[in-house]
Amino acid sequence: MIQKKRINFFIIFSLLCALPLGKGAEAGVNIITPKTLNWWMQYGETFVLINVNSYLECMDTRIPRSICLPCDEPNIKNHLPEKKNTKVVIYDGAINVKTKCPLTEKLLELGYNQIYILQGGLPAWKWAGYETESVERIPRAFVPSLPATECEEWLKANKNAIILDIRPTSSFEVKHIEKAVNIPLSLLHKRYQDIPLGRPLLVVDEDGTKSLLAASYLVRKGFREISRLNGGMLAWERSKKRK
């Protein structure tokens, strides 16, 4: 009986020890700080810098030397270096270190073994005071930002309004405001013509950081009466909880 217990213990212990090995898929993914990345740039380190934000965001503001390769880009091979041991640094616009972008997995599958994620993404880079560039900047328009608590009132007053959710489809499918339509920011420049002109628009994003860019882009494309949800879906859900 005691021996059986010992065997069980040994099996469980071995399984527990083996658990970290399951993370082997992330073996080639490292974190790089803005400071180190800046050093690399200063001292001529060879690497490829990829901005995984949407095309609009990347062209608007990015770290110099970046290439724009959105997360949902299907064909990434043509944009990547041939040597698999080339250092690849990817970054997005999020403050969180871990990016949900599937590009990391794709790079690993393709055999790239030196992948770096920029800690804190573009905001951290800017926070540190390093240079950015704008290839095709979208001038920001004055777009009213509605507090989540006022949103329902606004929707009642604007019954023919379109709620434009610019989050990725996967997030939209999990939860969205009733009657919202989804055009991810990464596809907005291709699909903005699907949005009918002449109706009030409420642009909704994840946390209120992307809707201004999307709204400004739409203003350039002739849309009027645009508002955006201050704080995005996070604020919306929080206001719902408070009720």
Partner 1 sequence: MGKIEETKIAMKSVSSLRIMFFLLGLLSFPLVAKGEEMSCKQCHADKIDYISFYKSIHRTLSCRSCHDGVSRLELHMQGNDRAKEVNCAKCHQNVFQKYRRDVHNVKLNMACQDCHQPIHALKRGRSLSSCNQCHPRENYVLRGHGRALEAGNMDAPSCADCHGLHNISVYDLASEKAQSLARETYTKRCISCHGNVKIAKRNKFSTQTVKSYYETYHGKVLRVGYTDKVAGCADCHTGHNTLPKTDSASAIHPDNLYHTCRSCHPIMHKRFVQFDPHPNPSDPKRSRIVYWVNVFMIALLTGTFAFFWTHSLLWWRRAYLEKYREGKKLIQVTLPGEKQVERFTFRDRMMHVLLVISFFILVLTGFPIKYADAPWAKMLLNFWGGPHAAGTFHRIAAITLCLLFLYTCWLSFKFLFPKGEKSGWVKRLLGPDSLFPNLKDLKDIVGMFRWFFHRGEMPKFDRWTYWEKFDFMAVFWGMTVIGFSGFILWFPGLFSYLLPGWMINVAMVVHSEEAFLAAIFIFTVHFFNNHLVPTKFPLERNIFTGRYPLETMKIERPLEYERMLAEGRLEEIKKDAPGIGTQLFASLFGLGSLILGLILAFMIFWAAIF
Residues that bind partner 1 (CB under 8 A): 57, 60-61, 93, 95-96, 123, 126-127, 129, 132-134, 137, 139-140, 142-147, 150, 207-209, 212-213, 230-232, 234-235, 241-243
Exposure of 89 in the CB half-sphere (CA atoms within 13 A): 24
Check residue 235 and give left, alpha or beta (phi > 0: left; psi -120 to 50: alpha). alpha
Q: Which is nearer to partner 1, 95 or 195 (CB)?
A: 95
How many helices (H) and strands (E) the chain has is answered by 10, 10
Q: How far is the CB of 115 from partner 1 (least distance, A)?
A: 24
* CA dihedral over 32, 36, 42, 43, signed as positive or negative: negative
- CB 233 → partner 1: shortest distance, Å? 10
The one-letter code for the residue type at 52 is V
Q: Using the minimum distance from each CB to partner 1, give the nearer residue, 52 or 80.
A: 52
Which residue, chain included where needed, has tokens 């974190």? 31
Minimal distance, residue 11 CB to partner 1, in Å: 35
Closest approach, Cβ 157 to partner 1, in A, equals 11
Using the minimum distance from each CB to partner 1, give the nearer residue, 53 or 80: 53
Please report which helix (H) or strand (E) contains residue 153, including its range. Answer: helix 148-157
- Nearer residue to partner 1 within complex by CB, 86 or 230: 230
The CA-based diameter of the chain, rounded to the nearest angstrom, is 79
Q: Which of 57/107 has CB closer to partner 1?
A: 57
Instruction: Please state the closest distance from residue 98 (CB atom) to partner 1, in A.
Output: 12
For partner 1, the closer of residues 69 and 143 by Cβ is 143
Closest CA to 72 of 175, 189, 169: 169
Q: How far is the CB of 178 from partner 1 (least distance, A)?
A: 21
CB 218 within 8 A of CB 227: no
Q: How distant is the alpha carbon of residue 174 from its chain centre?
A: 16
Among all chains, which residue has been given the structure tokens 């690849």? 88
In the chain the first and final C-alpha atoms are separated, in Å, by 58
Q: How far is the CB of 242 from partner 1 (least distance, A)?
A: 4
Residues in the chain: 243
Cβ proximity to partner 1, 88 vs 143, nearer residue? 143
